[in-house]
Structure 1
Amino acid sequence: MSERSVSRLSAAGRAGTRAAAKAVAEQARGQAHGPAPGQARGPARTAEAARPRVRRPLGLWRLEVLRVTRTRRWLLLLIAFPLLGAAGPLVVRHLDRILEVLGADGANPPDDMGAPEGMAAYVSASGQIGLFVALGIAAAALAVDHRPGLAAFYRTRTRQAWDLVVPRWTVCAAAVCIANTVATGIVWAELRWLWGPVPTDRILYGALFNTLYLLMALGLVAGASAFLRRPVALFGAALVALVLSPLPRLWKPMRDWEPSSLGGAGVELLENASPGEFVRPAIVAVLVTLTMLSLAVWRVGRREM
């Protein structure tokens, strides 16, 4: 064998040795750090890794649910309705001790406070703090054209104006109703524990009428979104409308139809009122809610950005 052939064989041997060493090093590195991201870790997951991943489409309804859950807006409803509202009956029941601890010697609470006063404390909390929170959440959701970029994004991906208003309002209303229902159940248990049994049907009727009042308030926010764009403006317009809503009671034929009495129906039902007294205000509240929603859908669909 010639000298040139020997040198060629030596060079080939060195190249093969380097390639083998490189392969061994890569295999050892892979065993130390595990498989790379995206690689299957064994034969059992090979078929699963080979299949393409199908992502769940992000529809309008799921988007609104995520808007409530991921932005922690549900936490505001939890604080406003179940936590603060449920504290009302406890405060009424132990008001004398609370005043004694605070050092208010001249203030003497009435001795005959019972379940109606406990329900009144909850209605007062939910009718103020809870209502403000509900209006704020609805105003933020229904400000469709507040940001022109997002408005253009939504409008180019929806087929009708219905999709711009109804999912937003419905999901927000569902969250408010769930929070109010949970709070009412807690208050019911507290009333039974603190003052004894209370009529179950009266509690249910009171919760129903209070829910209709909250839906009407959210409907007023939708009606304001037909003419206004900013969330603060929607909140203020709906709040002013609620404050002025009892004015029709000044006209005697409208006293039995005015829907603002639905907010305090739970207290009156525990005293001496009957559910039939709130049927006509409930009908008016439903009609106002549907009218405001229809107006919002019609105006938002025709409005220019």
Structure 2
Amino acid sequence: MTPWRLEWLRMTRSARGITLIAVYAFFGLAGPLLAKYMAQIVKLSSSDVTIIAPPPEPADGIENFISQGSQTGLIVLAVVAAGVLSLDAHRGLAIFYRTRATGWFTLVWPRFVAVSLTALIAYFLGTAAAWFETTVVLAPLPTARVLLGALLGAVFLVFAVAVVTAAATVSRTTLATVGISLGVLLLVLPVSATVPVLRPWLPSSLLTAPAAVLTDAGIAGYGRAVAVSLAATVALLSIAAYRTSKREV
């Protein structure tokens, strides 16, 4: 059995892939419904308070999906990816890979691709669910902008998997890999984004892009973040492959 087939089977025949898909699908279906009925829900929970809210806009459906699902989905993705990519956390698995590796990238590339593909499938299914639900309960959305936003979000997810891949070569436990990855994705990048001159260049700006492009005409502004994300992904994978090949079991 080749490493490619092994990794794909590990993702599709375990709870890993199902968990990712379930998380994104849930928020994809729930986001537009919350946008539609949020005022009524708040009113029921606070009967003594008068709630005055503007009517929901079609973009609110995708915005709710992104705001609620992006962070939760990112955490689940980091946990799932760390479980797959933390090669040295399992001695038997590490020996299996290293005795069959034909090069540096053979140790990293199949696992990275399997996790990335699963994450993208889950993310696109969640986006499709949010798009469909928004069209039904609110109003249609501009197709080109929805698709562009989904592609921008997908670039960030691939970058996030690359971060986990590199983090797995720094630590020897799955838990430490998750901690390092989330520290970079949910702490270092957001804090760096508070610096105005850095914000347009950071991959984290792509996380909220699917909602932003529906209301913001400045779509071209994401080109810098895409370029940095792609370059960083290649660099992180190269570092991960090199470090993995030099590591002792």
Fold conserved between structures, TM > 0.5:
yes
Higher relative contact order, chain-length normalized (CA < 8 Å, sep 6+): 2
How far residue 245 of structure 1 moved from its aligned partner, in angstroms, is: 1.0
TM-score, normalised via structure 2 length: 0.93
Moved more, 173-182 or 274-283: 274-283
Aligned residue among 200, 207, 210 for 1:256:
200
Distance 2:54 2:208 in 1: 23
Aligned match of 2:138: 195
2:191 corresponds in structure 1 to: 247
User: What does 1:81-230 align with in structure 2 at a 5 Å threshold?
Assistant: 81-106=24-49, 108=51, 110-230=53-173
Q: Residues 85 and 125 of structure 1 are in contact (CA less than 8 Å); yes or no, is this contact kept in structure 2?
A: no
**CA–CA separation in structure 1 for the residues paired with 2:238 and 2:116:** 16
Instruction: For residue 296 of structure 1, report the CA deviation from its aligned partner.
Output: 0.4
- 1:63 corresponds in structure 2 to 6
1:206-228 per-position Cα deviation (integer Å, ceiling 9, x unaligned):
10111111111111101112211
Offset, 1:101: 3.8
- What's the % identity of the aligned pairs? 32
Let me know the Cα RMSD of the aligned residues: 1.6
Q: What does residue 243 of structure 2 align with?
A: 299
CA distance in 2, matches of 1:210, 1:190: 19
Hey, what's the Cα distance between the residues in 2 that align with 1:278 and 1:82? 26
CA distance in 2, matches of 1:125, 1:194: 18
Matched, 1:280 2:224: yes
**Aligned residue identity for 1:135:** A
Once the two structures are superposed, residues 3-33 of structure 1 have per-residue CA deviations (whole angstroms, 9 ceiling, x without a partner) of: xxxxxxxxxxxxxxxxxxxxxxxxxxxxxxx
What amino acid is aligned across from residue 210 of structure 1 in structure 2? G
Question: How far apart, CA to CA, are the structure 1 residues paired with 2:175 and 2:121?
Answer: 25
| Match of residue 11 from structure 1 | none
3-state SS of the aligned residue for 2:207?
helix
Deviates more, 1:151-160 or 1:293-302: 151-160
- AA partner of residue 82 (structure 2): A
Distance in 2 of aligned mates of 1:302 and 1:89: 48
Q: Of residues 205, 210, 226 in structure 2, which corresponds to 1:266?
A: 210
Q: CA deviation at 1:247?
A: 3.5
Larger Rg: 1
Pair 1:289 & 2:233 matched: yes
Give the gaps of 5 or more residues in structure 1.
1-57
User: 2 CA distance for matches of 1:109 and 1:139?
Assistant: 44
User: How many residues of Structure 1 are paired with residues of Structure 2 in the alignment?
Assistant: 248
Deviations 1:156-190 (A, max 9, x none): 12222211111001001000001111111111112
- Distance between the aligned counterparts of 2:9 and 2:47, measured in 1? 47
Query: Could you list the runs of 5+ residues in structure 2 that have no partner in the other structure?
Result: none
Distance 1:293 1:104, change over 3 A: farther
Q: Secondary structure at the match of 1:272?
A: coil
Question: Residues of 1 paired with 2:74 and 2:55: CA distance?
Answer: 29
1:96–1:280: structure 2 CA closer, same or farther, 3 Å change rule? same
- Give 1:98 deviation, angstroms: 2.1
